[in-house]
Structure 1
Amino acid sequence: MHYNRIKILCVIFFAFYSTTLNAYWVWNTKSKKWSNPKHSVKGTAEDQFLWAKKFYEEGEYKKALKGFQKLMKKYPRSRYSPEAGFLSGSCLMNLGQYYDAYLIFQKVLKKYPGFSQVEEIVKKQVQIGNHYFYKKGFNIGKVTFPKNNDHAIEIFQGIIENSPYGEYAPYAHFYLAESYRLINRFEDAIRMYEALIDKFPKSEYVAESRYKIILSSSHFVTKDGYTEKDLDEAKLEFEIYMKKHAKTARGHIAQKEIDDLNQKDAQKILETAQWYEKKKKYKAALLYYRDFYRKYKNHEESEGVKDKINVLSMN
């Protein structure tokens, strides 16, 4: 009796379960697999697009993303595919996956060059570039790691390639240059500032770019291998800028940069003279001490250098 009751309950359970199963799963004779119609690609690209877009409008970005990606895979040549790609990138941005969004946007622009919303995509890419440009470094324990500008550089470069003379091109040039400058790639920074000035002479970023060229040059010329000509040119640029902006904060910064350049140059000349003196190459040392005294008579080390000149001149 008890055994029969169990059999009846099992029959009822499996009957109910199979009914539920059949309501959601269908056997595909071609693929030889069960599939759920609820998650299958719709019969037309339009239906699939509208289905995914409904999730997008409701803020269900994960579901919308899956729907748009299925459309692009199933109907790659459909007129809905470019916009599906655009909205896929927007979904990823809303999900905080910014770099993946940038890559999707790039794919759309390359695969569908005639897409009508190119500038809208570029605008989204600018937002992504800004995200990485302004992103701060991170800490692990007591160790601080600086931010990595690689993504910002790649994205602003991509924007320039995608829309070289578009609305956001001057902005991309400027912030690409800034991205280089902040990681001490001064030559690349100067090149991009100059490109901006040449291509967009009326841009709002021109004045700032001119100043940043001078600033970058001052850092560049103090590296090993700079010549006196390089240094003099950098100082001249700052002096010209300082005269034009004498009463502004930037004018004071320019004066400070000139002072820093002089200090670095004086230090280098003095260290070179001392090195030759240590090696007992007194003629060479005397040349550098004289050069130091000629250029920096008001330097705090000038009296000591003058004494060195007098001593070495007697040899």
Structure 2
Amino acid sequence: MIIKRKLYTIYIIALVLSSLLLAEGAAAYWIWTPSIGRWINPKDAPKETPKEQFEYGYSSYQEKEYKKAISEFLKVIRSYPDSEYAPEAQFHIGRAYEDLEDYYKAYLEFQKVIDLYPYSKRAEEVIEHEYTIANLFFTGQKRKLLGIEILSSLDKAAEIFLKIVENAPYGKMVDVAQYKAGECYKKLERYPEAIEAFHKVIENYPGTPLVDDAKYQIALCSYEVSPESAYDQQMTEQALKGLEQFASEEVSSPESERMDEAILKLKEKNANHLYDIGYFYQSRKKPDSAKAYYQETIDKFPGTMAAKEAQKRIDALEGRASKALEDSDEKTKKSWWKIW
């Protein structure tokens, strides 16, 4: 009986001691933090001051432990959001992702400095980093998905260039950023967006040396759009006018040969438009109206296939050529007209 009592006493003492130890462990494992209003594990607790916490994160950054540095910088932002070290921590998160070569994520983190801390002393430096990242994407750097570089990033380059313009509309690089956004859209064959971007270079930065280049790019993009808009004569005429202006000014460009080819095609297209109207009137037995449009085709676009055909039809209408030409059908005409 005495032995049983002793064993029972030992059991109770052991139970109490284990409870105390568990309670002590639990108390040490989670503590209430008034500054952030939640329980946290002490090992994840921030340092006592924002300066100490930032310096701890920065030491990891200097040692190239970028993921750890990001984690420690986040503690500055979450625990001391109103401190002077919060924007610094956010900036260095961007730098850490940049060093990890996760460039789009780096851009997003850099942009948070502008969005959350608009008066940060790092604002200009942020824009420089964003410009560097945009240029990387513009020149072929692929974007990562799950850590793997697989996504083409011209669209992201355009996004970042335009964000730079939005961030600092009067900054030192905005005219170039606006122009490069247009180049991105042009490479993506998103020509209407490219035209809009190049127009903004001319409208918003009239003093930039890029104005002439922007006009040239508008002309080329208009040419690319015009075949898709068979009845948009204004677009075709705008493209032709722009290209002819550059040809007359002898503006040097690596695309000069392509520009000459584009001018010829646009002239042919405009000539075809006038010829079509003349053909329409001829088919409706209105020879005077038909001849007027045929003559305009010849006068405005001499040397084109349409002008040569227009002359034949004028001759036929005036009895100077075979009636067989006058009776030619649309299918015959289309055999030479369809040049695109």
TM-score (norm 2): 0.68
Q: Distance in 1 between matches of 2:162 and 2:253?
A: 33
Q: Distance in 2 between matches of 1:175 and 1:93?
A: 21
- The equivalent of 2:221 in structure 1 is 216
Task: List aligned pairs for 1:95-114, cutoff 5 A.
Answer: 95-114=100-119
The question of whether the paired residues in 1 share the 8 Å contact of 2:275 and 2:297 is answered with no
- The equivalent of 1:27 in structure 2 is 29
Q: Distance in 1 between matches of 2:215 and 2:156?
A: 25
* Mean Cα deviation higher: 152-161 or 303-312: 303-312
Aligned partner of 1:255 among 242, 249, 260: 260
The question of whether the paired residues in 2 share the 8 Å contact of 1:242 and 1:252 is answered with no
1:133-169 superposed Cα distances (whole Å, 9 cap, x missing partner) = 222679xxxxxx9935332222122111111111221
Structure 1: runs of 5+ lacking an equivalent: 1-17, 139-144
Q: How many angstroms does 1:62 deviate by?
A: 1.1
SS at match of 1:77: coil
* Mean Cα deviation higher: 122-131 or 146-155: 146-155
1:107-153 superposed Cα distances (whole Å, 9 cap, x missing partner) = 22121111011110011111121222222679xxxxxx993533222
Q: Distance in 2 between matches of 1:146 and 1:94?
A: 19
Matching residue's letter, 2:159: E
Q: How many angstroms does 1:45 deviate by?
A: 0.7
Alignment CA distance shift 1:183-1:123 (3 Å): same
- The equivalent of 1:234 in structure 2 is 239
Aligned partner of 1:201 among 194, 201, 206: 206
Q: How many angstroms does 1:82 deviate by?
A: 0.2
Q: How many angstroms does 1:180 deviate by?
A: 2.0
Alignment CA distance shift 1:30-1:49 (3 Å): closer
1:145-203 superposed Cα distances (whole Å, 9 cap, x missing partner) = 99353322221221111111112211211111112222233333222222222332332
Alignment CA distance shift 1:249-1:52 (3 Å): closer
Q: Tell me the number of residue pairs that the alignment of Structure 1 and Structure 2 aligns.
A: 283
Matching residue's letter, 2:216: Y
- The equivalent of 2:17 in structure 1 is none
* Mean Cα deviation higher: 150-159 or 88-97: 150-159
Q: Distance in 1 between matches of 2:271 and 2:211?
A: 33
Matching residue's letter, 1:313: E
Q: Distance in 2 between matches of 1:298 and 1:146?
A: 47
- The equivalent of 1:159 in structure 2 is 164
The question of whether the paired residues in 2 share the 8 Å contact of 1:61 and 1:95 is answered with yes
Aligned partner of 2:138 among 118, 121, 133: 133
Q: How many angstroms does 1:90 deviate by?
A: 0.7
Q: How many angstroms does 1:233 deviate by?
A: 3.3
The question of whether the paired residues in 2 share the 8 Å contact of 1:136 and 1:146 is answered with no
- The equivalent of 1:75 in structure 2 is 80
The question of whether the paired residues in 2 share the 8 Å contact of 1:296 and 1:302 is answered with yes
Matching residue's letter, 2:188: I
Q: Distance in 1 between matches of 2:308 and 2:128?
A: 60
Return the index of the structure with the highest Cα Rg.
2
- The equivalent of 1:51 in structure 2 is 56
SS at match of 2:228: coil
The question of whether the paired residues in 2 share the 8 Å contact of 1:27 and 1:33 is answered with no
Q: Distance in 1 between matches of 2:273 and 2:239?
A: 16
- The equivalent of 1:117 in structure 2 is 122
Q: How many angstroms does 1:93 deviate by?
A: 1.1
The question of whether the paired residues in 1 share the 8 Å contact of 2:271 and 2:297 is answered with no
The question of whether the paired residues in 2 share the 8 Å contact of 1:245 and 1:251 is answered with no
The question of whether the paired residues in 1 share the 8 Å contact of 2:91 and 2:110 is answered with yes
* Mean Cα deviation higher: 81-90 or 227-236: 227-236
Matching residue's letter, 1:111: L
Matching residue's letter, 1:46: K
The question of whether the paired residues in 2 share the 8 Å contact of 1:222 and 1:265 is answered with no
Alignment CA distance shift 1:270-1:91 (3 Å): farther
Q: Distance in 1 between matches of 2:56 and 2:141?
A: 38
Alignment CA distance shift 1:252-1:91 (3 Å): same
The question of whether the paired residues in 1 share the 8 Å contact of 2:51 and 2:85 is answered with yes
Matching residue's letter, 1:63: K
Q: Distance in 2 between matches of 1:199 and 1:306?
A: 47
Matching residue's letter, 2:89: A
1:41 pairs with 2:46 = yes
Identity between Structure 1 and Structure 2 (%): 27
The question of whether the paired residues in 2 share the 8 Å contact of 1:122 and 1:159 is answered with yes
